């Protein structure tokens, strides 16, 4: 593991037209760790997550200043190929969103986009991605069935496999279990613990117990500011910020 942080956020401010959604964010994220972003709705955590792979480019009137580097490269630099950035920085959304095609074609979609076309090359990628996402044994006999035909929890793991198929360095997860039942949530939490051996994970969650269970570091956001960041155990047991303590103990939010 390198000493250098994989993601470095320096003096980042973000505006949606006149509204300032992020205020002077400074943060470093280490490789092969799970970092959780917590805080009430509308506090900026998903907005920051979307900066990492420039999903914010898709929002009209969005302006970002400051720098975000991944492996030392500023993601907002004009020379950055956004398609390659999104290959390196995968995303899993709140609601499972498999494409309306077969399970196989969902997983092969990314590799095909990046030029891998032959079945003999795609087969091992599909198999390995589904294995990494912990769903291979459940779907291996139904790879050519629609990805929409399986349960919500399985769909979300197919979406994780789809993100892993292009070998990202970083996996962003925006409340990946909020639409799932407790058993599927537990499966995905266990999966995150396994995946951090190979990938760096940043997860936005409203579920404080989830952040406490699976993350190495936790950042607390409120009204666009990051008020607390540190080792998860310390943030939950002895937060330095009073508003963070009130949020964690359920006094607001």
The 10s digit of each residue's pLDDT in 44-100 is 999 999 999 999 999 999 999 999 999 999 999 999 999 999 999 999 999 999 999
Scan for tokens 């998903």, then name that residue. 46
pLDDT higher than threshold 80 for residue 3: no
For range 202-216, the mean pLDDT: 97
| Integer angstrom CA distances of residue 76 from 12, 55, 67, 85, 117 | 11, 11, 7, 10, 30
Per DSSP, which regions of the chain are E strands? 7-16, 19-29, 34-38, 62-70, 73-74, 89-92, 170-174, 200-204, 217-222, 225-231
DSSP helix/strand/coil, 231: strand
pLDDT band with cut points at 50, 70 and 90 for residue 200: very high
Q: Detail the DSSP E strand segments found in 119-224.
A: 170-174, 200-204, 217-222
Which domains does the chain show, CATH number per domain?
A: 32-54+81-248 (3.40.50.300)
Average pLDDT over residues 1-16: 88
pLDDT at 2 over 60: no
Residue 30 pLDDT level (bands cut at 50, 70, 90): very high
């Amino acid at each position: 593991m390198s000493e250098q942080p994989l993601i470095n956020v320096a003096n980042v401010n973000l505006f949606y037209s006149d509204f300032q959604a992020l205020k002077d964010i400074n943060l470093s994220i280490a490789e092969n760790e799970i970092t959780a972003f917590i805080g009430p709705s509308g506090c900026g955590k998903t907005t920051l997550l979307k900066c990492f792979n420039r999903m914010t480019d898709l929002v009209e009137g969005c302006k970002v200043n400051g720098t975000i580097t991944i492996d030392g490269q500023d993601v907002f630099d004009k020379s950055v190929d956004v398609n390659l950035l999104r290959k390196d920085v995968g995303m899993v959304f709140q609601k499972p969103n498999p494409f309306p095609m077969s399970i196989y074609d969902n997983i092969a979609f990314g590799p095909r986009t990046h030029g891998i076309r032959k079945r003999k090359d795609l087969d091992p990628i599909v198999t390995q991605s589904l294995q990494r996402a912990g769903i291979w044994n459940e779907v291996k006999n139904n790879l050519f069935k629609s990805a929409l035909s399986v349960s919500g929890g399985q769909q979300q793991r197919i979406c994780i496999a789809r993100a892993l198929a292009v070998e990202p360095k970083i996996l962003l997860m925006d409340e990946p279990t909020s639409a799932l039942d407790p058993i599927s949530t537990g499966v995905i939490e266990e999966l995150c613990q396994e995946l951090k051996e190979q990938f760096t994970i940043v997860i936005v969650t409203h579920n404080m117990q989830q952040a406490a269970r699976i993350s190495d570091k936790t950042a607390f956001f409120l009204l666009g500011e990051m008020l607390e960041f540190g080792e998860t155990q310390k943030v939950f047991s002895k937060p330095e910020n009073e508003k963070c303590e009130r949020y964690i103990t359920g006094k607001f939010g």
